Amino acid sequence: GAGVSQSPSNKVTEKGKDVELRCDPISGHTALYWYRQSLGQGLEFLIYFQGNSAPDKSGLPSDRFSAERTGGSVSTLTIQRTQQEDSAVYLCASSFNLREAFFGQGTRLTVV
Amino acid sequence: QKEVEQNSGPLSVPEGAIASLNCTYSDRGSQSFFWYRQYSGKSPELIMSIYSNGDKEDGRFTAQLNKASQYVSLLIRDSQPSDSATYLCAVIMAYKLSFGAGTTVTVRA
């Protein structure tokens, strides 16, 4: 695709529900990153994929968070039993071989 | 020590002036360095990449890299009100793209 695409753009969910956030990277990009940004805060690293494997999962806040990437392309970030503190913008970026990374428009998650 | 550190700001400059942003990083082996601009409510947008020591110019932006000092900077010449945003320094370290906390720049008309 022309750019990184994330869906949905906005998600409102009830506390305790599970949510899935999707990221479609730029075609051919080998690396894929997930970040979280709370209101007025910086980017918090969550997880990084190289191909389908995740060499660095160190940023996942708890075991309620998981992510996968299939076919070296689409990635899904899943949050189980959502809590209010999970409310944030979730950003995905992709890059090719340690070169420039480009971001999607983000998914704004609100847990009520 | 944080992996990527930026001057905390906020930085206020008059229109037409030069805005200078600084960044240091912890991994001496890093090879790829980037500056992103983020407007409020938007996702980060890549404005500069630099991979070798020295200066790289693109329009009103100049990135400077000094690997020996583990330092990268961004100069914005002839600052415009539209440059008002948060600027993020990013470094690829051990294959992970790490960001600084950002510096908020306000250009006064």
Classify burial at A64, counting beta carbons within 10 Å of its beta carbon; exposed 0-12, middle 13-18, buried 19 or more: middle
How confident is the model at residue A98, as a pLDDT? 81
Classify burial at B68, counting beta carbons within 10 Å of its beta carbon; exposed 0-12, middle 13-18, buried 19 or more: exposed
The CA distance from B46 to B107, in Å, is 20
Mean pLDDT across A74-81: 98
> Closest by alpha carbon to B61, among B71, B53, B73?
B73
- Over pLDDT 90: what percentage of chain B? 90
How confident is the model at residue B50, as a pLDDT? 97
Q: How confident is the model at residue B2 (pLDDT cuts 50, 70, 90)?
A: confident
> Closest by alpha carbon to B97, among A68, A92, A107, A7?
A92
Phi, psi of B17 (to 5 degrees): -85, 175
Tokens of A64: 């309620």
The CA distance from A34 to B46, in Å, is 16
B101 — contact with chain A (CB < 8 Å)?
A: yes
Are B13 and B109 within 8 A, CB to CB? no
The CA distance from A41 to B82, in Å, is 21
Rg (CA), chain A: 13
pLDDT digits (tens, 9 = 90+) for A5-63: 999 999 999 999 999 999 999 999 999 999 999 998 999 999 999 999 998 888 999 99
Q: Is the pLDDT of residue A90 over 90?
A: yes
Q: Considering only A65-69, A70-74, B52-56, B74-78, which range has the smallest mean pLDDT?
A: A70-74
Are A103 and A26 within 8 A, CB to CB? no
Contact check, Cβ <8 Å, B90/A93: no
- Over pLDDT 90: what percentage of chain A? 89
CB contacts, 8 Å: A43 with chain B: 44, 88, 99
Q: Is the pLDDT of residue B74 over 90?
A: yes
Q: Is the pLDDT of residue B99 over 70?
A: yes
pLDDT digits (tens, 9 = 90+) for B9-60: 899 999 999 999 999 999 999 999 999 999 999 999 999 999 999 999 999 9
The CA distance from B38 to B87, in Å, is 6
The string of DSSP letters for A53-80 reads: EEEE-TT--STTEEEEE-TTS-EEEEE-
How confident is the model at residue A81, as a pLDDT? 98
A18 to chain B, minimum CA–CA distance in Å?
24
Q: How confident is the model at residue A1 (pLDDT cuts 50, 70, 90)?
A: low
Tokens of B41: 């409510």
CB contacts, 8 Å: B94 with chain A: 56
Q: Is the pLDDT of residue B97 over 60?
A: yes
A42 — contact with chain B (CB < 8 Å)?
A: yes
B100 to chain A, minimum CA–CA distance in Å?
8
Phi, psi of A9 (to 5 degrees): -75, -40
Mean pLDDT across B79-91: 97
Are A8 and A90 within 8 A, CB to CB? no
Are A107 and A10 within 8 A, CB to CB? yes
How confident is the model at residue B55, as a pLDDT? 97
